[in-house]
Amino acid sequence: MAICPNGHDSASDDFCDVCGMRIATSPGNPQAPAPSPATGIPATGITGTGLPGTGAFSTGAMPAGAMPVGGPPAGQGAPGAPAESCPRCGTARTGQFCESCGLNFAAPPSSAPPVPAPPGPRVPPAAPAPGADARLTWTAVVAADRAYYDQIRTASGVEGEAIDFPAYYAERRFRLAGAQMRIGRRSVSRGLEPEIDLTGPPVDPGISRLHAVLIAALDGGWAVLDPGSANGTLVNGTEVRVGDQVPLHDGDRINLGAWTAITVHRG
Amino acid sequence: MTQSGFTVDVDQNQYLPEGGRDVSAIVTVTSSADAAGVHSAAAGTPASAEIIIIDCSGSMEYPHTKIAEARAATAAAIDVVRDGVWFSVIAGTNTAWPVFPPDGSMAIADVSSRAAARQAVTGLRASGGTAIGQWLSLARQIFGAYPAQLRHAILLTDGKNQHETPDQLQAALRECEGVFSCDCRGVGTDWEVGELRTISAALLGTVDIVPDPSGLAADFAAMMRSAMGKQVADVALRVWTPQHATLRFVKQVAPTVDDLTARRTPSGPQAGDYPTGAWGPGESRDYHVGVEVNPAGVGLEMLAARISLVAGPPSAAELLGQGLVRAIWTDDEALSTKINPLVAHYTGQAELADAIQEGLEARKQGNEEVATAKLGRAVALARESGNEDTAKLLAKVVDVVDAETGTVRLKKKVEDVDEMALDTRSTKTVRVKKAQS
């Protein structure tokens, strides 16, 4: 029997049977993912190195989710979970969220212990190292733009009718880097991997495979160029002439496709 | 390969942005090519039972070749039934009756029983109506008397279910679910695609159109061969999800799109089983699982779903394999914004099936604008994903101006058979090569 970071008893020793949290194997570092010696399950994705399955049953070669079945059950003691109580209301803790007041025990995330750094970890950096590049960083924020959608729909009539505004669109952010950032949709057949990949779902059918390119200027700024997309590109509502480089300013809004807006931010 | 003969692989982007909730994964289940009947029954008892259900309604006489080809196809299928397998043949009109054995039992296949069955089939004549629910109910009764592990039926019809209400068919289907699987074939163009799809989906089988009766015999023999190859019965995906998580959907996405979300049977705390039917050696199918989880802090990892492949009755299910769907929260956008190519591909294939079905429906209703937009979208999706079979079928219904952008014009005149073939096969998907990393 293992005990998960949220204090649940779990028969499985890799992930909690109740809440699914990864169960620690090192008492000193209760939330750090680590390879489990008992089952040979690699902590895939964090450590990046997979141990060969030692169980009697290996379910396949894909590291992302395959795991041995029928491996020996957890033999090693899990860390004894301290009887924690909610700092806000004092109720005994049974999960990630307080059953009484709903406080998230995991918050703030900064209190989470750092992930160890064996070979090849993709530990997310908190911020770009200050001083390494004094230049301001630019970010492109992609969102679904209702006003633009309505405007396009009115203008284009028939064709616009059948494209629905997405019910849900998770905002995406891209840090601008390098000499250029292509905006488009990934195409396996054409070997096209735009840096700003707007492949859905939900997919905006009005976006071309290679729709536009953001080009880094010498002064550290960025400009947008439409190399000849099928449906055109707008900057702050004005159509970009094919082939023109339009310099961008903090807060500028690029519209493309049927409902996509990309806002650029400096700093 | 493993003891159980099955592998379960999971493909996903496990990284979520801070506060992210949606986890999507493609689960690939493969049975090994040499999985020798691990679940064959005790010696002396046939492990399989087969019933062939033939439409003998009056319309099978028009053209006259239809009933003749149906008889020939049934005989061809009978020839493929392996020695020692229980089998029988049913005829259906507005009622149903056993053709062979005539007493409503099942015969054990050998040289003489197969010959007798072929002889009985030559006597089939077409007259009467169509009440498919009754045919299925009779098959269920016959199957029920024999303890075979693998029960499979082939259903052939050429018409709509006219002589019973949709409710009667639904009620019959509910009783048959889990008892046997059924592959459905529609011959000609007077049957209803949606109706047969409902039956084949509920009974975990395939559905297809046989436009020309002369193609029946080869198709029947192939279906029967595939059924004879099945060795593991009643395999289910058992999906565990964490507390406070919502399982949004479980869909088969290859070889065809088939939504299993509503087919959940609870099987333990926070777990449910989704039926996948019977498996033959060397089979591989993909499933798309969507889970909504409660976000945890950046740097934390949790299990979003544990997918177990189980066989046998729920009380004594045997574990055949397992895969894990994970969620790791990160503030590295390069990780969290990456879309897994398999997830993207199958999301597109499911959208393709929907676009075709909605486009054809709109066309039927006379809504040309929507039909053009939907079928155009389908053309673009088929092109993008390399689904050439579907692209060819689409090209018989629309004139493609530009496949890349999905610019199409509706054809003025479309053959019924082309429209039905497109509708029936809209759920067929293509697979992509797995990502190397």
Distance between CA atoms of B249 and B288, rounded to whole angstroms?
8
Looking at every residue in chain B, the average pLDDT score rounds to 91
B329 and B275: one domain? yes
Q: In this predicted model, which residue has the larger pLDDT, B319 or A116?
A: B319
B395 and B328: one domain? no
Interface touch A200/B384, C-beta < 8 Å:
no
B21 and B58: one domain? no
pLDDT attached to residue A104: 56
Question: Of A122, A148, A164, which residue is a domain's last?
Answer: A122
In a domain, B284, yes or no: yes
Could you tell me the CATH number of the domain that includes residue B410? Answer: 1.20.120.1690
Could you tell me the CATH number of the domain that includes residue B329? Answer: 2.60.40.3670
ipTM for this model = 0.72
Domain residues for the domain of B360 are: 341-427
Q: Could you tell me what percent of chain B has a pLDDT over 90?
A: 79
B319 and B255: one domain? yes
> B315 CB contacts (<8 Å, ≥6 apart)?
none
B111 and B134: one domain? yes
pTM score of the predicted model? 0.65
Q: Cα dihedral sign for B354, B360, B366, B371? A: positive
A212-265 per-position pLDDT tens digit: 989 888 778 899 988 877 778 999 888 888 888 889 999 999 999 888 999 999
In a domain, A22, yes or no: yes
In a domain, B43, yes or no: no
B68 and B204: one domain? yes
A156 and A258: one domain? yes
Mutation site, A9, A19, A210, interface B, largest B CB count within 10 A: A19
What is the domain count for chain A? 2
* Nearest one of B127, B155, B161 to B216, comparing CA atoms: B155
A259 and A163: one domain? yes
B70-119 per-position pLDDT tens digit: 999 999 999 999 999 999 999 999 999 999 999 999 999 999 999 999 99
Query: Half-sphere exposure of residue B71, counting CA atoms within 13 Å on the CB side?
Result: 18
A151 and A178: one domain? yes
B107, B110, B115, B121 alpha-carbon torsion, rounded to 10°: 40
A86 and A158: one domain? no
B232-252 per-position pLDDT tens digit: 888 999 999 998 899 999 999
In a domain, A130, yes or no: no
B16 and B61: one domain? no
pLDDT attached to residue A35: 40
pLDDT attached to residue A126: 44
pLDDT attached to residue A125: 45
A179 and A111: one domain? no
pLDDT attached to residue A74: 38
A14 and A100: one domain? yes
In a domain, B433, yes or no: no
B225 and B250: one domain? no
Distance between CA atoms of B391 and B394, rounded to whole angstroms?
5
Residue ranges, chain A, pLDDT below 50 = 26-82, 98, 100-101, 108-134, 160
Q: In this predicted model, which residue has the larger pLDDT, B416 or A68?
A: B416
Chain A residue whose CA is closest to B326? A65
In a domain, B156, yes or no: yes
Token couple for B174: 């509910």
Contact status of B93 with chain A (Cβ, < 8 Å):
no
B249 and B329: one domain? yes
pLDDT attached to residue B310: 94
Give chain B's largest Cα–Cα span. 72
User: Considering CB atoms only, which of B333, B347, B369 is closest to A158?
Assistant: B369
Domain residues for the domain of A67 are: 1-122
A163-178 per-position pLDDT tens digit: 788 888 888 889 888 8
B198-215 per-position pLDDT tens digit: 999 999 999 999 988 888
In a domain, A128, yes or no: no
B200 and B246: one domain? no
pLDDT attached to residue B358: 95
Could you tell me the CATH number of the domain that includes residue A145? Answer: 2.60.200.20
Question: Of B229, B261, B279, which residue is a domain's last?
Answer: B229
Query: For chains A and B, what is the number of CB pairs under 8 angstroms?
Result: 185
In a domain, B107, yes or no: yes
pLDDT attached to residue B363: 93
In a domain, B434, yes or no: no
pLDDT attached to residue A156: 66
B204 and B273: one domain? no
Contact status of A143 with chain B (Cβ, < 8 Å):
no
Report the gap between the CA of A153 and the closest CA in chain B (Å): 14
Distance between CA atoms of A23 and B267, rounded to whole angstroms?
24
Q: In this predicted model, which residue has the larger pLDDT, A104 or B57?
A: B57
User: Considering CB atoms only, which of A65, A124, A186 is closest to B10?
Assistant: A65
B96 and B197: one domain? yes
A118 and A144: one domain? no
> Mean pLDDT lowest for which of A53-67, B347-361, B387-401, B408-422?
A53-67
pLDDT attached to residue A186: 83
Q: In this predicted model, which residue has the larger pLDDT, B21 or A105?
A: B21
A255 and A185: one domain? yes
A114 and A51: one domain? yes
B354-371 per-position pLDDT tens digit: 999 999 999 999 999 999
Bond preceding residue A108 cis, omega within 30 of 0 = yes
Interface touch A64/B326, C-beta < 8 Å:
yes
pLDDT attached to residue A167: 82
In a domain, B436, yes or no: no
What is the domain count for chain B? 3
